[in-house]
Amino acid sequence: MTRRVAVTGLGVVAPGGIGVPAFWDLLTAGRTATRGITLFDPAGFRSRIAAECDFDPAAAGLDAGTTRRADRYVQFALAAAREAVRGSGLDVAAQDPWRIGVCLGSAVGGTTRLEHDYVKVSARGSRWDVTAPEAEPHLHRAFQPSALASEVAEDIGAGGPVQTISTGCTSGLDAVGHAFHTVKEGRADIVVAGAADSPISPITVACFDAIKATSTRNDDPAHASRPFDASRDGFVLGEGAAVLLLEEMEHARARGADIICELRGFATFGNAYHMTGLTKEGREMSEAIDHALAEARIDRTGVDYVNAHGSGTKQNDRHETAAVKRSLGEHARKVPMSSIKSMVGHSLGAIGAIELAACALALRNDVVPPTANYETPDPDCDLDYVPRTAREATLRSVLSVGSGFGGFQSAVVLAHPERSTS
Amino acid sequence: MSASGAGGGRTVVTGLGVIAPNGVGTEPFWKAVQQGRSVLGPVTREGCTELPLKVAGEVEGFDPSGLVEDRFLVQTDRFTHFAMAAAELALEDAQLSTDPERPFAIGVVTAAGSGGGEFGQGELQQLWGKGPQFVGPYQSIAWFYAASTGQISIRGGFQGPCGVLTNDEAGGLDVFGHARRTIGRGTDAVVAGATEAPLAPYSVVCQLGYPELSLAAEPQRAYLPFTADACGFAPAEGGAMFVVEDESAARRRGARTRAVVGGHASTFTGTGGWGRSREGLARAIRGALEEARCAPEDVDVVFADALGVPEADQAEALAIADALGRRAATVPVTAPKTGFGRAYSAASALDAAAAVLALEHGVVPPTPNVTEVRHDLDVVTGEARAVRLRTALVLSRGLMGCNSALVLHGHDGRR
């Protein structure tokens, strides 16, 4: 018998919304959390705006030892994982730990702390032969991205498959997708799935400056992330984490869990074209959408909302519009499609998981979050992007897509626990 | 869970490519492994010589330009050079390339832990030494962990499912499980493996926090697992890539099978002490054997994790005993990596490569530098041992707490 996968808990650390209620409030109000960078002095950089989290580790229940040991992105993940487990009502101590897994994504891992310490050991970049003594004792945990899943697994008490996925901007979708397959194929009954990144540091901002991928609307940060709008000029870097607690359906039902939604399909393909470039036709993203829908056994007309990658680069928005049209055909014109990056920015590997949390909340609340800042249509982007205001809608199933680094294209399908037929 | 691919068939290894400190290319690697040659030596990389780490396994004489085009080399770090070169060797070995009619049929998965450290350090120096505008456009694609998978996909035109596992040392075995399951969902072949290049100065500084790192100065005594002199592990660079393929797809195109991927399982026991890895590793072994439908008696050789830390070595010996029962005391156990070091997530990929070659040649290679074994294991030391081999068990544990086991069969090891 085919195993099914329920989402029974959610946790979010997002710019402008720490915790699920604040996050959902931000999205449904259509507020933006983009602002001038405060995490470091951005003078001299091309893009000086970001979507930052006002995160207080102590308020999130993290003790001083954890805060010292764990990099910022790991702290986000710990907070989100604890919120997801708490909300699920799962008594973890009563479970078989060997049947609990963790699968978390991150695009850049501990690079923020790596940079921070690099500055110390290199006398501010003045020499190649760095010195050892100034380095922090936990620096190896920043160097080793598996620290992400490892810290969360220890915190939760997981003993099953523990994985960290680093596929650039699709890391979040891919981590949740692999976690979905881990439960569906029987390697675990419960998986803490999600992603985290805290990339707002000089080196990462400089990286995106160098390829002119980020917005330079420095004088108007609140309106800088403008997916699908004709006046968009790049993405706005963000940070954060989200965790979805995935649970085998019968396991969830047997304990009377509140089933938020069902995870139904996942697929990922590469464009084999360019590390940061996209093909015009969107064929590979379309392939991912088709495979995810096929696995979900959901017809394209059953999709009631598309959560877009919607980064706000011209190349992406056109590519993605083409891909959705290619897969959904005429139905694409009837489906609302929005980008929450307009509000919370693009947190690289984390955003895919944050977007899946938004999809789960959309299914739960029958509300489609808007694309903030969308004012002027681009003739090449002619779908319904849900401008500025959230919209009520009866949702059966939703599709979330992601695209980016390495040419990777991913798609995840979630469904309402009762409404969607199989 | 079924061990079979989409067509109900097995998953096989049809290609192998190795770039290791003891050999650039699969044949030089195997020759050195079989002879038990030790190439551990002083760290010579520019900027590294004054650091407390004294011994490592460096890849010498590696020139990727004969295998990979310059346009890829300029935009990537050494770890991706290793990955692209090893992938090219594996693809040549498997005689596999993209069919333009079916571009989604081949995927890529790599494991990585240290990323593009040398490239990244160079760009950090540009940024902090000169200013933001001196950071080059390739930093965004060279530093991060996904670089190798992305570039292998682009170079080969592989549009199938792409993955990147940053699962500590165990990742080099986890790619086999990942590849096999990807094939089970309908992909014909996956280019899979792991490479690392952790010997840039700042990368070395980052590793100094690992209490398991050996700071010994004498190469022959720096990495001595299972002995009373165990004092940690010596790090290394390099790695191995494989072509993992659905057996029926391989047969259709007339490819040679080098080994069969029997089973894989992984567990987690955290970083709170190596004693905990005993139960986790034993469970991973049992899971992998179950998936391969093997009994403990079927295991002909064990490629050990061999961390070189007394508590960890003891836990591994006990895990083997727990999982294999009576077979544990008689099965040959080996750790060729004591001759060239432990290349983080690539260490277990190199072990898998050595296992494929051992199965083909019917030879258990020795554990260089190791003589007096203090555990109740038949560790092969000194000379290689000729044995009929059908099934190999490869073990790995990571510094962040993951444990993995992989079962490989020889190409005629049908079960």
Chain B residues near residue A270 by CB distance under 8 angstroms:
107-108, 150, 153-154, 158-162
pLDDT-derived band at B7 (thresholds 50, 70, 90) equals: very low
3-state helix, strand, coil in chain A (%, to 5): 40, 20, 40
Sign of CA dihedral B262, B265, B271, B272: negative
pLDDT at B411 over 90: no
pLDDT digits (tens, 9 = 90+) for B167-187: 999 999 999 999 999 999 999
A401 by DSSP, 3-state: which?
strand
Write down the domain spans for chain A.
5-110+145-415
A204-234 burial code (b ≥16 CB/10 A, e <16): bbbbbbbbebbbebeeebebbbbbbbeebbb
Mean pLDDT, rounded, for B332-358: 98
Give A347 or B3, the one with higher predicted confidence.
Answer: A347
Q: Which uninterrupted H or E stretch holds A371? A: none
The bridge status of strand B11-20 relative to strand B23-24 is: antiparallel
DSSP B61: S
Q: How far is A408 from chain B (nearest CA, A)?
A: 7
Active site residue A309: yes
The pLDDT score that the predictor gives to residue A46 is 98
Of all residues in chain B, the one with the smallest CA distance to A177 is B163
Our CA dihedral for B16, B20, B25, B27, rounded to 10 degrees, sits at -80
Residue type, B17: G
Q: How far is B293 from chain A (nearest CA, A)?
A: 16
Helices A72-88 and A111-121, packing angle to 10 deg: 150
Q: Which uninterrupted H or E stretch holds B181? A: helix B171-184
Of A30-34, A73-77, B111-115, B410-414, minimum mean pLDDT range: B410-414
Query: HSE of A134 in the Cβ direction (CA atoms, 13 Å)?
Result: 13
Tokens read off for B241: 């890539």
Task: Tell me whether residues A140 and B207 touch, CB distance under 8 A.
Answer: yes
Name the CA radius of gyration of chain B, rounded. Answer: 20
Tokens read off for A101: 């897994």
Task: Tell which phi-psi region holds residue A263, choosing left (phi > 0), alpha (psi between -120 and 50) or beta.
Answer: beta
The interface residues of chain B toward chain A in range 253-282, judged by CB-CB distance below 8 A, are 265-272, 280
pLDDT-derived band at B279 (thresholds 50, 70, 90) equals: very high
Token look-up 């609340």 returns: A365
d(CA A311, CA A327): 20
Which of B132, B144, B171 is facing A44, going by the closest CB pair?
A: B132
Of all residues in chain A, the one with the smallest CA distance to B117 is A143
pLDDT-derived band at B414 (thresholds 50, 70, 90) equals: very low
The pLDDT score that the predictor gives to residue A134 is 67
d(CA B153, CA A275): 10
Mean pLDDT, rounded, for B103-107: 97
Mean pLDDT, rounded, for B114-122: 95
Does B84 touch chain A if contact means CB atoms closer than 8 Å? no
Token look-up 């609140």 returns: A222
Catalytic residue among A309, A319, A381, A416: A309
Chain A residues near residue B206 by CB distance under 8 angstroms:
114, 135, 139-140, 142-143
Selected for mutation to probe chain A from B76, B118, B124 (highest A CB count within 10 Å) is: B124
The pLDDT score that the predictor gives to residue A1 is 65
d(CA A16, CA B146): 29
Of all residues in chain A, the one with the smallest CA distance to B203 is A143
Task: Tell me whether residues B146 and A209 touch, CB distance under 8 A.
Answer: no
Tokens read off for B204: 């070395």
Chain B residues near residue A155 by CB distance under 8 angstroms:
none
A vs B: CB pairs below 8 A: 260
Domains of chain B: 11-252 (3.40.47.10), 260-410 (3.40.47.10)
pLDDT-derived band at B415 (thresholds 50, 70, 90) equals: very low
Q: How far is A350 from chain B (nearest CA, A)?
A: 15
Catalytic residue among A53, A169, A261, A359: A169
B265 by DSSP, 3-state: which?
strand
Tokens read off for A201: 């540091």
- According to DSSP, the residues that pair with A242 across neighbouring strands are A12, A195
d(CA B145, CA A349): 12
The pLDDT score that the predictor gives to residue B4 is 42
pLDDT means per 10 residues, chain A with 422 residues, are 94 97 98 98 98 97 95 98 98 97 97 94 93 80 95 98 97 98 98 98 96 97 98 97 98 98 98 87 96 98 98 94 97 98 98 98 98 96 98 98 93 93 60
Active site residue A169: yes
Count the Cβ atoms, other than its own, within 10 Å of residue A319: 25
Task: Tell me whether residues A269 and B161 touch, CB distance under 8 A.
Answer: yes
Q: How far is B138 from chain A (nearest CA, A)?
A: 8
Q: How far is A304 from chain B (nearest CA, A)?
A: 26
Task: Tell me whether residues B162 and A107 touch, CB distance under 8 A.
Answer: no
Mean pLDDT, rounded, for B263-272: 97
B191-209 burial code (b ≥16 CB/10 A, e <16): bbbbbbbbbbbbbbbbbbb
The pLDDT score that the predictor gives to residue A280 is 83
User: What are the strands, taking DSSP E only, across B247-397?
Assistant: 259-268, 301-303, 332-334, 363-364, 378-379, 385-386, 391-397
User: What are the strands, taking DSSP E only, across B101-258?
Assistant: 106-111, 162-165, 189-196, 238-246
Q: Which uninterrupted H or E stretch holds B283? A: helix B277-291
Task: Tell me whether residues B146 and A107 touch, CB distance under 8 A.
Answer: yes
pLDDT digits (tens, 9 = 90+) for B291-325: 999 999 999 999 999 999 999 999 999 999 999 99
Does B137 touch chain A if contact means CB atoms closer than 8 Å? yes
Token look-up 């959390």 returns: A33
Selected for mutation to probe chain B from A1, A45, A119, A140 (highest B CB count within 10 Å) is: A140
Task: Tell me whether residues A202 and B280 touch, CB distance under 8 A.
Answer: no
Cα three-residue angle B13-B15-B16, rounded to 5 degrees: 105
DSSP B60: P
d(CA B243, CA B249): 12
Catalytic residue among A116, A346, A359, A416: A346
Task: Tell me whether residues A125 and B126 touch, CB distance under 8 A.
Answer: yes
d(CA B10, CA B183): 10
Tokens read off for B107: 């995927």
Chain A residues near residue B136 by CB distance under 8 angstroms:
210
Taking a C-beta distance cutoff of 8 angstroms, is the pair B45, B199 a contact?
Answer: yes
Selected for mutation to probe chain A from B121, B152, B164 (highest A CB count within 10 Å) is: B164
Whether ipTM tops 0.85, in short, is: yes
DSSP B327: G
Token look-up 């530098």 returns: B369
User: What are the strands, taking DSSP E only, across B272-351?
Assistant: 301-303, 332-334
The pLDDT score that the predictor gives to residue B8 is 60
Count the Cβ atoms, other than its own, within 10 Å of residue B131: 13
Selected for mutation to probe chain B from A129, A207, A346 (highest B CB count within 10 Å) is: A207
- Specify the fold of A5-110+145-415: Peroxisomal Thiolase; Chain A, domain 1 (3.40.47)
